[in-house]
Structure 1
Amino acid sequence: SKDSGFVPAFRSGSCSEIGPKAYMEDEYICVDNLSEHLGKASGFPSPGAFYGVFDGHGGTDAATFTKKNILKFIVQGFESPDGVKRALRNAFAKADHALADAKNLDPSSGTTALTALMLGRSLIIANAGDSRAVLGKRGRAIELSKDHKPNSTSERLRIEKLGGMIYDGYLNGQLSVARALGDWHIKGQKGSECPLSSEPEVEETTLTEEDEFLIMGCDGLWDVMSSQYAVTIVRKELMAHNDPERCCRELVKEALKRNTCDNLTVVVICFSADPPVPIQVPKTNKRRSISAEGLD
């Protein structure tokens, strides 16, 4: 294909604010260069990068633990690139179980987890919870994750099949997300299938030069803003100053202006050193007029 020569160059910015809440329970991680971060011997393809957004609840224990350990767990399960998706699923399960076993962490603490692993041109998103990853493709928003809200049709069916209930959008009347790591006070026994799932949905995409950036944000952003609006802001900002950090600050500022009720965490990852180029609208030099022969 015309873009088989595309080699992404990863750079990122982030912004994390408490918003109107009393406590800050979000965490995030940005690794623009995996082989540098893990050591050359790790055998990760270059360019490689890793990003995560973790929206905690019931204290920060689960979010902080997951942020500190999830990449390590992914690397441990990484046998070959064909096994990437399996490695991600296993890492989420491992983090979830480690939270059950940890003596010094609050077992009723939980967190959503949204991760983006970049290996060359391959972008693999894993998501459990209601944070969201959105790709900016020449100005179009492409959602690469689904929000796991208890009320969404597929989650509702899964929850009810396992004997869970949804009251007023809350799983078992307790939790506004349908998937999370931790929350062992709700899950009960390890190994039992539970309405609150820790299993991520995993989505793989091959990047082309049409793909300009990825936005990762917790629900504090998406509760007040459409994916397309966020992409439009980021693209406009990048064309002005090419700084992903400033893009994140702009999104957070806009969400606060729109009265979000939550903590705000946003990560923007660019796939090229250059800013996006203006979108060319094909100009036709002929004035369109209805002619007689077009009518029969």
Structure 2
Amino acid sequence: MGIYLSTPKTDKFSEDGENKRIRYGLSSMQGWRATMEDAHAVIPNLDDFTSFFGVYDGHGGKVVAKFCAKYLHTQVLKNEAASPGDLGAAVRKAFLRMDEMMRGQRGWRELAVVGDKMHKFTGMIEGLIWSPRGGDSKGHEDDWAFEEGPHSDFSGPTSGSTACVAIMRKNQLLVANAGDSRCVISRKGHAYNLSRDHKPVLEIERERILKAGGFIHAGRVNGTLNLARAIGDMEFKQNKFLAAEKQIVTANPDITVVDLCEDDDFFVLACDGVW
């Protein structure tokens, strides 16, 4: 999807860091795409015991990937605070919550702000005009209150993004994945997959797609999308009689939890492409 450049843009953005538990490094490159559609989130101190890492591979635009990089980890914390002790459930809710948050006036405005310059300006202006007014704005971001405005009926973005996150808490690693970005761990020098690509041809994906009223053509959902799970892509999530997990395309992640040990060297999160 998208427009390609005549020559790839090979400038890299890289950084590294560490805390008492972990050392990390990251790098990103635009490549052949006309715009950079990928995003990442690195929060080494999500709380006193937890580190969060996320890779988001956008398609059809960059806004959903950037939205996830900005908000998904905050929703993990919020959900876990509401139901402590079940990190997996908190992460699953956070993935599905992204689609809910990107709807309506507030969703349109937030996507506009992380989008191109023209829409960013429009989104900021609409934020001044339509944001709910209140005496105490503390916690407003988490409340995600309904906003009246010209985009109140916005059903969400037609572009989308994969999401593959790794959350390290004490001696456990939780990996949640929707799409075809990947997490791999090196254990005693051998690579082990901690995620699975969600392609439409997989039987479990194909069954859900067909039951929801979709079809698969040339390996693509409804002949266009080569992913069976993603955040965004709201045109595939319009059946009001089905739960979010059962739509043609779903943001519902697969979750894998492993106990870390002395044999583990490192883990890698990355978008699809060369490995």
TM-score (normalizing by structure 2)? 0.70
Equivalent residue number for residue 89 of structure 1: 92
Partner of 1:28: 40
Cα shift readout 1:216-241 (whole Å, capped 9, x = no counterpart): 111123xxx3xxxxxxxxxxxxxxxx
- Residue 103 (structure 1) shift: 2.3
C-alpha displacement at 1:191, in angstroms?
6.6
**Offset of residue 154 of structure 1:** 2.4
Aligned-partner SS, 2:251: coil
Q: What is the Cα deviation at residue 9 of structure 1?
A: 2.5
The one-letter amino acid paired with 1:87 is A
Pick the aligned partner of 1:154 from 186, 195, 204: 204
Which amino acid is 1:19 matched to? G
Larger-gyration structure (1/2): 1
More strand by share: 2
Return the alpha-carbon distance in structure 1 between the equivalents of residues 95 and 36 of structure 2. 23
Q: 1:184: Cα distance to partner? A: 1.2
Q: Distance in 1 between matches of 2:167 and 2:205?
A: 25
Q: Which residue of 2 aligns with 1:201?
A: 254
2:236–2:248 Cα contact (<8 Å) kept: no
What is aligned with 2:141? Answer: none
Q: Is the alpha carbon distance of 1:77 and 1:178 closer, same or farther for their aligned partners in structure 2, counting shifts above 3 Å? A: same
Query: Hey, what's the Cα distance between the residues in 2 that align with 1:191 and 1:108?
Result: 20
Matches within 5 A, 1:226-241: none
1:100/1:182 contact within 8 Å kept:
no
Q: CA deviation at 1:152?
A: 2.2
- Pair 1:220 & 2:267 matched: no
SS, match of residue 198 in structure 2: coil
Distance 1:75 1:62 in 2: 20
Q: Distance in 2 between matches of 1:100 and 1:201?
A: 24
Quick one: distance in 2 between partners of 1:95 and 1:12? 26
Shift of residue 146, structure 1, vs aligned partner: 0.6
Structure 1 residues 198, 78: CA separation in 2 closer, same or farther (over 3 Å shift)? same
Instruction: Tell me the equivalent position of 1:65.
Output: 67
Pairing of 1:136-175 with structure 2 (within 5 A): 136-175=186-225
Query: Runs of 4+ in structure 1 displaced over 6 angstroms?
Result: none
Q: RMSD in angstroms over aligned alpha carbons?
A: 1.8
CA contact (8 A) 2:57 2:65 kept: yes
Report the AA paired with residue 202 of structure 1. Answer: I
- Distance in 2 (CA, whole Å) between partners of 1:131 and 1:169 is 18
Given that residues 100 and 184 in structure 1 are in contact (C-alpha distance below 8 angstroms), is that contact kept between their aligned partners in structure 2? no
Give the 3 Å change call, closer, same or farther, for CA 191–13 of structure 1 in structure 2. Answer: farther
Deviation at 1:190, TM superposition (A): 5.8
Give yes or no for contact 1:116–1:126 (8 Å, CA) kept in 2.
Answer: yes
Flag structure 2 segments of 5+ consecutive residues without an equivalent: 1-19, 112-155
Give % identity.
Answer: 39
Q: How many residues align?
A: 205
Q: Separation in 1 of the partners of 2:51 and 2:181?
A: 19
Q: Which residue of 2 aligns with 1:103?
A: 108
Give the 3-state SS of the residue equivalent to 1:32 in structure 2. Answer: strand
Answering whether residue 30 of structure 2 is matched by residue 18 of structure 1, we say yes
The alpha carbon displacement at 1:24 in A equals 1.3
3-state DSSP class of the match of 2:247?
Answer: coil
- Segment of structure 1 superposing worse, 185-194 or 102-111: 185-194
1:158 positional shift: 2.4
Give secondary structure in 1 for the equivalent of 2:209: helix
The corresponding residue for 1:210 is 263
**Structure 1 counterpart of 2:52, from 30, 50, 60:** 50
Task: Map 1:176-191 onto structure 2 (within 5 A).
Answer: 176-189=226-239
1:78 is aligned to 80
Q: 1:260-279 to 2 correspondence within 5 Å?
A: none
Q: Tell me if structure 2 keeps the 8 A contact 1:93–1:198.
A: yes
Does the residue aligned with 1:78 lie in a helix, a strand or coil? Answer: helix
Deviations 1:102-157 (A, max 9, x none): 12337212111111111101110011000010000011111001100112232222
